[in-house]
Amino acid sequence: MSKAKSIHRTEKAKQDNDPAPASGSRRAPGGELHQVAGGRHPVLTTNQGLTFSDNQNSLRANPRGPTLLEDFILREKITHFDHERIPERIVHARATGVHGFFELTASLKQFTTARVLTEIGVKTPVFTRISTVAGGAGSVDTPRDVRGFAVKFYTQEGNWDLVGNNVPVFFIQDAIKFPDLIHAVKMEPDRGFPQSATAHDTFWDFISLTPESMHMVMWIMSDRTLPRSLRMIEGFGVHSFRLVNAAGESTFVKFHWRPKLGLQSTIWDETVKISGADQDFHRRDMFDAIAAGNFPEWEFAVQLFTQEQADKFPFDHLDATKLIPEELVPLKVIGRMVLDRWPNNFFAETEQVAYCPSHVVPGIDFSNDPLLQGRLFSYLDTQLSRLGSPNFHQIPVNAPQCPFANHQRDGHMQMTQPAGRVAYEPNSLSDNSPRETPKGFHSAAVMETGEKGRIRAEAFADHYSQARQFYLSQTVHEQAHIASALVFELSKVEHPHIREAMVGHLIHIEKDLAKRVATGLGLDKMPDAAVAATPVKKMAPSPALQIIGKMKDTLMGRAVGILIADGSDGAAIRKIKKAATDAGASVKIVAPKVGGAKLADGTMLAADGQLAGTPSVLFDAVAVILSEKGAQALSMEGAAIDFVRDAFGHLKAIAVDQGGQALLKTANVGHDAGVVDATDSKAFIAAAKTRQWDRERSIRTLA
């Protein structure tokens, strides 16, 4: 077995004393504490007192085989975890849900019998829920966090739930570790904070002892977890699935969603200020876009590959901490999703919708990915707990939009009235009761052999190669953001040994990154590198992993704010507004008073937002159109000073007239290519389509 081994470290003060048993736990038989690396600890047991030897791996038919239902330790651990919150979701509690449709544009009939993937032009209804992971339902929209990306397809053959994230990899390789991961990232149980944040000891302690998480660490510390809008994120099915065709042949597949508007993220300081200005920033953005008829759209793409191809990959595709670079297996676009209808009632739909990866249709099947195998059990169990009934499929948002029938009866919240004498199959007493059909779901005919055991495949042992590839694939600006994010997060960690351990992992990813983080943390010397289970491979950079390099040259879906006051030039305002609107942006007028401002020609212009409550962090670019008197008045207003300072500090384009120039001077805001004359609307639009990345090094210290 080739598995990275971790050493549990404890504070010196705690090594001198026997740790007391946790509340509700017992010591090992005889009251003894067993010696474990790094100290003496109670023996880990099930809730029935059974000691077990492996808390890292599920029971599988063979090292790369399916997880076995007989794994009672896995089922006990996940069942307890699934039922820890009532009724709020333990993870993905904070969400935005929208109705829409999926339309197939290229058939996969060669690979699958699933009609949703073979019938071109058919519009399949969907309900899509995009969520944060760590925070509760009352947390803010914009923390540094993964976004869940779940789509329920109401197909003609039943519901298909594609339950993924906006990141293509995950923290762990085996579902048995999911409760540990979430317990580590959630609020620390003795103090109830921090909410929806990873910058604390328990999370980084777990991560420092879990080398398989290093690839995911690069993603969560990148700008991918600071999205500008939910309309500007990618989605991934994460796992390898199987497609099964009419001949029973199977092909592996990975699913991708790509936003029509392209990718865009915020930067950390901006994100923090957005959360204070508008806790519902992402939800409101989605609502406003749909209300305006600017329906968000994603391309649906697949990566298709055979077992023979997979055998040649320099990684194991069944490992959820790995991705398949697009340069290795290109994406094939086969459809599109459009979200066009807001729910009538948030609770009835967005809150009560129930997704399960086990919900598939004929022609789609599962791989032996051990994280996926655990999810197939866990999600159904969670819905039973959260919604309180095995009849949750009768809630309208969960109900199939095709005929469905079976012999399941009764149960809490049964809302139909099954008729007849027969509630079983086979039977001879009813000529119209449901029967199985040869055209129904078939699992892929895959032979499994080997010795069952709690062991991971040798191919799962490489924890650093793809993490290194991801980091080296980023632009220099994005690399700086990753390093700075690590410094920020680890600076919040109280225990020095955790910070040092993380730097030890970073050495394997990129020595320069490790040095930057170590310097930012003020370490006196570089720690030793972590023990690597296998040598780190040199993989070619993948530009597809960037955000900056993939941003689209457009203002579609973006927002521009125009700051005005009494005496502002109406013609200049109209010119900037028209240019931004023509480029596809939405425009809001911001004034000191909610009633608006009296322009130089004596007319009143209504405001869309009052200055103190509409800061520049809510916009992608700003214009400042002021008279001399207006600039003088706003020079005494802190909100106006912050408006222009933040816009400059967040690398945004700023259009200014003479009065606007005066306000910038008062605010001590500099000039560069992104600060343009308001009369040159063409230059402003060009600058507004991106951030002024070269400005960043001059205004803030980055790792």
Respond yes or no: is residue 165 known to be catalytic.
Answer: yes
Angle, nearest 10°, between helix axes 465-473 and 496-509?
80
Set 57, 99, 159, 165: catalytic member: 165
Q: How far from chain centre, in Å, is Cα 375?
A: 17
My answer on whether omega of the bond before 66 falls inside 30° of 0, hence cis, is no
What residue type is assigned to position 237 of the chain? Answer: G
DSSP 694: G
DSSP 81: H
Tell me how far apart the alpha carbons of residues 108 and 269 are, in angstroms, rounded to a whole number.
44
Closest to 240 (Cα-Cα) out of 358, 372, 113 = 372
My answer on whether omega of the bond before 63 falls inside 30° of 0, hence cis, is no
Set 57, 92, 368, 477: catalytic member: 92
Cβ(456)–Cβ(256) below 8 Å: no
| Kind and range of the H or E run holding 127 | strand 123-132
Please state the three-class secondary structure of 238-273 as a single string: CCCEEEECCCCCEEEEEEEEEECCCCCECCHHHHHH
Residue in the block written with tokens 């007239």: 657
Q: Which residues contact 153 (CB under 8 A, 6 or more apart)?
A: 102, 116, 124, 125, 126, 159, 160, 161, 162
Tell me how far apart the alpha carbons of residues 234 and 437 are, in angstroms, rounded to a whole number.
38
Beta strands in 507-631 (DSSP E): 559-563, 586-591, 597-598, 604-605, 609-610, 621-624
SS3 586: strand
Tell me how far apart the alpha carbons of residues 544 and 540 are, in angstroms, rounded to a whole number.
12
Tell me how far apart the alpha carbons of residues 347 and 312 are, in angstroms, rounded to a whole number.
47
SS3 341: strand
What residue type is assigned to position 396 of the chain? Answer: P
Residues forming the active site: 92, 165
